[in-house]
Amino acid sequence: MTEQELQRHMEAVSLQFFQKPFLHRAMFNTRLRTTGGRYLLQSHDIEMNPSYLESFGLDYFIGIMKHELCHYHLHLAGKGYQHRDADFRALLAKVDAPRFCQAIPTEQKMHRYTCLACNTAFLRKRRFDVKKYRCGRCNGRLKYVQEEIVQVSQEFQLLCN
């Protein structure tokens, strides 16, 4: 999808679900990592993450557009446009837009360890010396199993540090 097509989609979604025109710019921002889109308060433009279009498809991407358009139309109307505001939550429900985005799954190299006593499996990003560490559950000895490529989400990446 090009930026011109994104602009046309944003204008069409705005008219279809909000019955108001979208009068500013819609653009792609490839630097967005953990968010599907962003409404810019100063310029009233909307930036969209193209990775969500590639990963989840057009229907999900239109849901993100509706979410950002909720921020846009409420801010221009002088109403509560932030996630915690009742006006924002009511408009999200009215247009059936998601409140948060799913995390994009990515592939990552992980190291698998098992406990020799309780057979608990561990995944870690970094390899470590099994002689220096013990199992957190039973204090048993650990064994390095293998390196593997795993599909992980953003939340899982935070847990495995």
Task: Look up 68 and say whether it is catalytic.
Answer: yes
Annotated binding residues for Zn(2+): 67, 71
From 11, 54, 68, 155, active-site residue: 68
DSSP letters spanning the chain: --HHHHHHHHHHHIIIIISS---S-EEE-TT--S-SEEE-TTT--EEE-HHHHHHH-HHHHHHHHHHHHHHHHHHHHTS--STT-HHHHHHHHHHT--SSPPPPPEEEEEEEEEETTT--EEEESS---TTT-B-TTT--BEEEEEEEEEEE-HHHHHHT-
Which residues line the annotated binding site?
67, 71
Would you please indicate which residues are annotated as catalytic (active-site) residues?
68
